[in-house]
Every structure is written in C-alpha cells, then in structure tokens.
C-alpha cells in the first residue's frame, strides 16, 4: 500500500495530501517518504526524520483533526486520503 501512495504522491506533487492519526511507518506506509516528507513548520533538528516545510504528510494523534483536514482539502477540489487504524470506521460522508 505504501508503494501505491508513493506513486500517487509523485504524480500529484501539489494537490495531494495524506492525513494520518498515527505513525506512518507503523502502518507500513514508509515508502511514501521516497516522494515527500512529513509537514512541519518548526525548526528541523538533526534527530528529525523525514520532516520539511514542503511535506505533504500530516501526522497528528487526533482522528478528529485528520477528519477536519480531509474535509478542508477536499472542499478546495484537491485530493487527500486518511488511512485509519480502524478500517470499519468511516470518517466522512457527503
């Protein structure tokens, strides 16, 4: 699955984001970091892993923040996805 999303990021460098409520690596999505980084506006230090101000992956612990981020991106006609730890739970319906 990580390779699939990596390729999507490569084809959509400006209009695709991923919102994750958990660590992407533990969800086996680490290949996405071959195409983009985690988004961070804070100062980058030597121990930071795959962070950058131009990153397209948003990792936060709150699923509610991820849901709102998805709604905001999709309302602007851009594309986004949000992998969940609980696949039976739906985030958003129209």
Q: Which residues contact 58 (CB under 8 A, 6 or more apart)?
A: 17, 18, 19, 20, 38, 39, 66, 69
C-alpha Rg value of the chain to the nearest Å: 13
User: What confidence score (pLDDT) does residue 30 get?
Assistant: 87
Residue 91 falls within a domain, yes or no? no
- Whether 24 and 30 have beta carbons less than 8 Å apart is answered as yes
Neighbours of 18 (CB within 10 A): 27
- Domain count for the chain: 1
Torsion of CA 50, 41, 74, 83, to 10 degrees: 40
pLDDT at position 7:
93
Residue 76 counted as domain residue: yes
- Which ranges of 13-55 does DSSP label H, i.e. alpha helix? none
Range of the domain at 44: 2-81
Residue 30 included in any domain: yes
pTM higher than 0.95: no
pLDDT in tens, the chain (94 residues): 889 889 988 998 888 888 777 677 777 888 999 999 988 888 988 888 888 888 888 887 777 777 777 777 777 666 666 665 555 444 444 4
């Amino acid at each position: 699955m990580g390779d699939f999303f990596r390729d999507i990021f490569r084809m959509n460098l400006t209009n695709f984001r991923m919102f994750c409520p958990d660590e992407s690596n533990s969800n086996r999505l680490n290949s996405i970091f071959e195409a983009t980084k985690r988004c961070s506006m804070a100062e980058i230090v030597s121990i930071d892993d795959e962070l950058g101000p131009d990153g397209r992956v948003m990792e936060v612990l709150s699923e509610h923040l991820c849901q709102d981020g998805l709604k905001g991106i999709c309302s602007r006609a851009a594309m986004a996805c949000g992998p969940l730890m609980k696949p039976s739970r739906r985030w958003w319906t129209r």
